[in-house]
Structure 1
């Protein structure tokens, strides 16, 4: 007897089934559950395709074999920590998400028993609960790793037998106990690296595996950052031996550029020189007013071949990491500081590109070549700026003429930048100067010169040429992509700016020109710094990907990092792609060694993560140096700006050295404060007193912790504006909470 054919389920039936079995089913399981056979399987496939197009379902899991209801995730979901939000809360993304759908936002609200807390790049199993459209709250179940947790802290022997470790991570407020036999002979006050027991041990015991030095040593600031973020510091023996044997290639099969007066232009404290530039007017009568540029970059691909010992170390690191007192290079010193550094007067192998532009900076054509060059001079930005300004320092006359041409070519490139509307965010950088003992002697805002912009525009032109070449030749590559900000972020920014009287443009897809108009309105006003910060926070994060979607911030359709292969692995991969694409000899991507078939998507995610790791480590070290610099100024009064508002307090930036610290909500005077996220303010529920983003305040430095990099301030002034009584009244019926808002979590967490 033939079984009766089951009716096809409705779309609602399928969605219900998916919600009952989140993350566990694919097409086969759906067909089996609804007894769908034969030709009806084709109809089911068509129905699922229609549901995916209409946004009712999306693919999930490894290779997209599973199906989930849209906006849904399995209750237990493996996730990767991607950073922190504007309030300092950890955020994550699903590890196995696939397809084109944007990642849902996952806010980690409960760390459970996991100590130390996870950091960017860590993988954790989260128990999720839906909090809104594509928004989930996550509770940590466990860390996904078989390795023991490592902590960095100060060893304290004053507690008796053995000792204890006080964490150097300001997110932790725990002590770890160390038996005398596992103390590694550490002394009181030593900075140590230790392992904690796996799992959820209640004893909080640790074993010291390395004594890093004394915490009072100024170098401890960068040491702590290195180990907290897991920055690799040692090269393998095989890599060091390979670097020691490296030799400069001959001129054979290379273009001879040794007579071209290429120069390197870097900061006074630069530690490696991987790019050199030259420009001259184009003598082609068809390109009147145009320029010929030459950008030469160290030929790292000659020395570091895919999957060799040096490559494995460079790939693991992803990039060099720079601290005020040291650099952790991507490549050993023999290469980064010598053979791959374009030192003046010495022959160096390079991968160079000639670029022809018109008088308006438009790239007309370009040609890459492998070459041998000899830098004519090692210049710094101030020397070049003096030439731009007509001060003409003591310098070779021919070199001055070349720099004048360099300036002319830059002005043409600047026209092209302005025409396409690249983002012009003003984000000043700090400059930390150390004395002979390694302590901070001076902190200032790094000067932004036109010579900086000139070098940047030459590098951008070379990067565009690289991306165009790789796309034209259809060679696998890592593009530097920057997606447009999400509609939600743009809408939130516009809503807030309109409350300040700023004019905004509403459109379906944001354009860089819209943001530049906002920045122009803010220029010269007291809120300029704050508005630039807000616009920057609204942007998505640039990353590396084999899928080219363009660079929103630079307003470019094709862009790849080509100009820094000494310190960025992505650039080395781009060099290898160009070498293959143009048949420029050895060291390119190859079928033979498998590098042509590398997993570029995985590689892009890896180098993006190592870049974020390096940024976080550099920022942490800076904050520790700032805290050490301010430690003897406790009780001093500072002018400051509220740079962030959260449930747990105000983040303020002091004018003096642009250091950021927290004013805990519990220290705010005489009221219960409600966090109004859309208005970026804390609102006093009884008095109506408010503290809001961009407000100018007077603060007293209450605490400086050089070990953790934390700064705490207390307000001297008493907030601004008191709203009408009806606005105050709406908070009267809220249950009051002493000292801090009901949703206050943790102590003195720092926004990243």
Structure 2
């Protein structure tokens, strides 16, 4: 019988028990193992022999100068680099200075960490743990964030390929290995990582992480801004799947508001419609000259539930990010431009507030409802304003606004003028600043930068939304709920 097949002495753990202990602790020295299992004398000598056998079998690895860990195991806490993004947008990390065959770990999103989300090339302090059949990592702290990533332009010559940073303040010109330079072309916009190791002479070595586009593409400015500021892009497969699986809203748990003729008023180029309004005279004899104003917003919470992939990724993004030629949305388009957009003639889940104002514009009451609504018309600010101004001042009503002048548009404006009386009495801080619109050419260039005309229609929607937010704040205060105004 060989030494490796002898039965371990009493008190000595078998190999699987020892590995299970190391798996739980991450790593341990021989003295720690012996102390844990209460080994003395001959048992300690047998332990040393068992450790040598496990090393020879490839089941045990060194950790530090004296420590041991299960082969392929990761420490409880370690410094790791973000090395890969898969097709679903998931990020993977690997221990710094680990061997190429060392296990990678899936980086789990952590909604509690402030600042931009980690990206390719970032160095992180993480906590490792085993989940089912894979390693996972949770962010503790971002280290030297972004300093080892370079967004740059490829410059090729007969002898070498370099990455010149788009940030002129950066001195990190990178030399690209020959194996990576074959498919690159002069002028390509790329995201590269600075390779670890000493760079005593000449440019640093770089590894191409992503091929983004061409530097002379007019749309490159937005791409540069997205990558330079770490704006999260795209959605994971899990998020897309959750968004696609959402059902059309029903009346279950909702008040039927479909007979209220809400309308949306948005910029002419708006792709989605977040809020809708309606106003009518208050028929209560105790409120002569008063108005009832409804404001409804898309009930996003009906689809983005706490703890879901949609919720986690939306928290990571924080908000939608708008550029002159593109938008990086917080939610997948099937929601942002679908179920969470108050489209004309379609049933939509909403959160609505019914506000009552007296003849002096003072709000006397409100109530919130979760409802099912249906927008009766989709108007642009210019379209609504032209209808109210009439043909003597411009185009006047059109085929859409003409039929709803008496029932919807005039009551909205009359209610707004009454609300203005209350606003003037409150004398709120009013900051007027010119807003500008960038008009793009078909190929992504800038055609013009124009000052937006401020219309009364803009101020109407603004005032009604402000009052809706006041109602929300008052309701949360009544519930003793902490909030930021």
TM-score by length of 1: 0.43
Partner of 2:397: 393
Q: Distance in 2 between matches of 1:374 and 1:262?
A: 7
* Structure 1 residue 185: Cα displacement: 2.4
Q: Could you tell me how far apart the structure 2 residues matched to 1:357 and 1:433 are?
A: 40
Q: Deviations over 1:375-419 (max 9, x none)?
A: 001100001111332333124545112111111222233333333
- How large is the Cα RMSD of the aligned pairs? 2.5
Alpha-carbon separation, structure 1, partners of 2:287 and 2:424: 21
Q: Counterpart of 1:144? A: 143
What is the correspondence of 1:385-534 to structure 2 with a 5 Å cutoff? 385-391=385-391, 392-394=396-398, 395-401=400-406, 402-477=408-483, 479=484
Deviation at 1:200, TM superposition (A): 8.8
Query: 1:174 offset after TM fit, Å?
Result: 4.7
SS of the counterpart of 1:285? coil
Query: 2 CA distance for matches of 1:184 and 1:474?
Result: 63
Compared with structure 1, are the counterparts of its residues 200 and 434 closer, same or farther at alpha carbon in structure 2 (3 Å cutoff)?
A: farther
- Partners of 1:287 and 1:153 in 2: how far apart? 65
- Aligned-pair CA distance for 1:180: 2.4
Q: Tell me the distance in 2 between the aligned counterparts of 1:441 and 1:396.
A: 31
Shift in CA distance, 282/193, structure 1 to aligned 2, threshold 3 Å: same
1:471 to 1:361, Cα distance in 2 relative to 1, 3 A: same
The offset of 1:215, in angstroms, is: 1.2
Q: Residue 149 of structure 2 contacts residue 192 of structure 2 at CA under 8 Å; is this kept in 1?
A: yes
SS in 2 for 1:425: coil
Distance 1:121 1:312, change over 3 A: closer
Please give the secondary structure, in 1, of the residue aligned with 2:361.
Answer: coil
1:185 aligns with one of 183, 186, 189: 183
> Offset of 1:438 from its aligned partner?
2.0
**Compared CA separation, residues 178 and 414, structure 1 to 2 (3 A):** farther
Quote the residue 2:261 is aligned against: 261
Pairing 1:580-599 to 2, within 5 Å after superposition: none
Alignment correspondent of 1:368: 368
1:196 and 2:194 correspond: yes
Q: Does 1:378 align with 2:378?
A: yes
Q: Secondary structure at the match of 1:359?
A: coil
Report the CA distance between 1:217 and its aligned residue.
1.4
Q: Secondary structure at the match of 1:336?
A: helix
In the alignment, what sits opposite 1:294? 294
Contact map agreement 2:272 2:337 (CA 8 A) in 1? yes
Q: For 1:181 and 1:201, how far apart are their aligned partners in 2?
A: 19
Q: Aligned residue for 1:155?
A: 154
- Corresponding residue SS for 2:276: strand
Matches within 5 A, 1:42-61: none
Matching residue of 2:163: 165
CA offset digits 1:213-265 (Å, max 9, x no partner): 11111211111111111111121111111111111221122111111110111
Maintained 8 Å contact 1:272/1:341: yes
Q: Deviations over 1:546-593 (max 9, x none)?
A: xxxxxxxxxxxxx3xxxxxxxxxxxxxxxxxxxxxxxxxxxxxxxxxx
Against the structure 1 CA distance between its residues 418 and 196, is the aligned structure 2 distance closer, same or farther, given a 3 Å change threshold?
farther
- Displacement of 1:440 in angstroms is 1.9
Q: Distance in 1 between matches of 2:199 and 2:350?
A: 55
CA contact (8 A) 1:265 1:378 kept: yes
**By how many angstroms is 1:364 displaced?**
1.2
Asked if 1:314 corresponds to 2:314, the answer is yes
Q: State the SS of the aligned residue for 2:382.
A: helix
Q: Secondary structure, in 3 states, of the residue corresponding to 1:386?
A: helix
- Paired with 1:219 and 1:355, the residues of 2 have a C-alpha distance of 44
Give the structure 2 partner of residue 239 of structure 1: 239
- Superposed CA offset, 1:493-517 (max 9, x none): xxxxxxxxxxxxxxxxxxxxxxxxx
Q: Which has the larger radius of gyration?
A: 2
Secondary structure class of the residue paired with 1:437: coil
Partner Cα separation in structure 2 for residue 332 and residue 287 of structure 1: 45
2:117 touches 2:230 (CA, 8 Å); kept in 1? no
Unaligned runs of 5+ in 2: 1-114, 119-141
Q: Residue 161 of structure 1: CA displacement?
A: 2.9
CA positional deviation for 1:146? 7.3
CA shift, 1:325, in A, is 1.4
Number of residue equivalences: 342
Seen in structure 2, the aligned counterparts of structure 1 residues 175 and 335 have a Cα distance that, compared at 3 Å, is same
Counterparts of 1:205 and 1:421 in 2: how far apart (Å)?
61
